[in-house]
A = this chain, B = another copy of it.
Amino acid sequence: MGQDGRHRRARSTITDVAKAARVHPSTVSRALSAQPGHILRPETRARVVAAADRLGYRPSALARSLRLRRTLTLGMLVPDIANTFLAGIIKGAEEAAHERGYALVLCNTGDLPEREATYIRVLREREVDGVLVASTRMADATVDGMRADRFPFVLVNRGAGGTDDLVVTVDNIAAAAAVVDHLVSLGHTRIAHVAGPRSTTTGAERAAGVVAAARRHGVHAEIVEAETWSEAEGYRAASQLFRGEPPTAAFGANDLLALGVLRAAREAGLAVPADLALAGFNDTPEAVLADLTTIHVAQEEMGAHAARLLIARLEGEPIAERNVVLAAALVVRGSTAAGIVRRRIA
């Protein structure tokens, strides 16, 4: 190992290999890339390969991308890496991308439109082949820009109103309605919904699902809109809710909001599920931990699906569905258990 300990060893280039193997650089290229059209004498190829790994040669992806006009890289915009729901999506996307030889560059937008715009600019300067966007708003200038430029992108989890976009989501309306159905079946008639921001499709659709289902059952649903998707906002919204006569059931538009409601409920002395039935959305690890009834979303599959869809678009493969709606299922846990007085965890 590194016997030239002194200074950083220079990267060897295709020319170095060519010299070492006494062939032309073009021959090195042919020997190393297993393209079908390349016919090389086995002996020549062997000599090149030998020289290549004697020198520890690694082709420069930079130079190759410049010439080939593609980087085999995908960008991905997420509102928050530390959100476990998104982490699942990212993981699925990363693996699917890697499987097809693409790398993934992650960008944390913090759900801020201007950071989103900045990152898209950076990604496009870096010439990523396409991007996965998990942080869209409904009216989103960044997405409009990509649409206008016909720059390849896929929307994940949240849509953006456009009818022609490639999108991977779940059926939010049906899922939210399923939660309400479940709560009503337990006998609840005063249901609160802590909605996500209406500026996002997920927030708007889930609230719409709640409203529709409530109307169908003839029960009252009170909607409070949170400003962000965070636990803190769930707490804030719930504290406000509990000031008056508290509802008997609450449904957070995602698990974090529901956990915020849980914290507020505990502080208000409301026991879950005895005094307040509680449900969330996404089925993150936290939901499992808090024994929270929620909607299960196949996170990794969602990410993987989105990545594969984008790659299919990039490679010009036929696209079966432009608008993929994954199945989501109600998972009933202790937080809405009927007849159970109290459960303990710790």
Contact = CB atoms under 8 A, between A and B. Distances in A.
Nearest to A11: B127
Contact of A1 (B59, B148, B285, B290): B148
B2 A62 contact: no
A53 to B, nearest CB: 12
Interface residues of A, number: 64
Nearest to A4: B150
A208 interface: no
Interface of A: 1-2, 7-9, 58-63, 65-66, 71, 73, 80-84, 87-88, 90-91, 94-95, 103-108, 121-122, 124-127, 144-145, 147-151, 259, 262, 266, 271-273, 285-286, 289-292, 334-335, 342-346
Given A62-B71, A82-B84, A106 B104 contact: yes
B344 A342 contact: yes
B9 A149 contact: yes
A346 B291 contact: yes
B87 A127 contact: no
Contacts of A266: 345
A166 to B, nearest CB: 15
Contact of A289 (B90, B95, B121, B290): B290
A138 to B, nearest CB: 18
Given A2-B149, A289-B290, A344-B346, 6 more contacts: A58-B121, A62-B66, A81-B94, A82-B87, A105-B106, A289-B289
A272 B95 CA distance: 38
Contacts of A291: 345-346
How many chain copies does the complex carry?
Answer: 2
Nearest to A122: B103
25 contacts: A1-B145, A2-B148, A8-B149, A8-B150, A8-B151, A9-B149, A61-B126, A81-B90, A82-B91, A84-B87, A94-B108, A103-B105, A104-B106, A266-B345, A272-B346, A273-B346, A286-B289, A289-B289, A290-B345, A292-B346, A334-B346, A335-B346, A342-B344, A343-B346, A344-B345
A29 B84 CA distance: 43
Nearest to A265: B346
A60 B67 CA distance: 12
Contact of A106 (B58, B62, B94, B334): B94
Most buried by B among A65, A73, A95: A65
Contact of A61 (B9, B125, B343): B125
Nearest to A123: B103
Contacts of A126: 61-62, 73, 103
A290 B346 contact: yes
A121 B309 CA distance: 26
Most buried by B among A148, A271, A291: A148
Which 4 pairs from chain A and chain B are nearest by CB? A2-B148, A345-B345, A1-B148, A82-B87
Given A61-B126, A91-B82, A259-B289, A106 B106 contact: yes
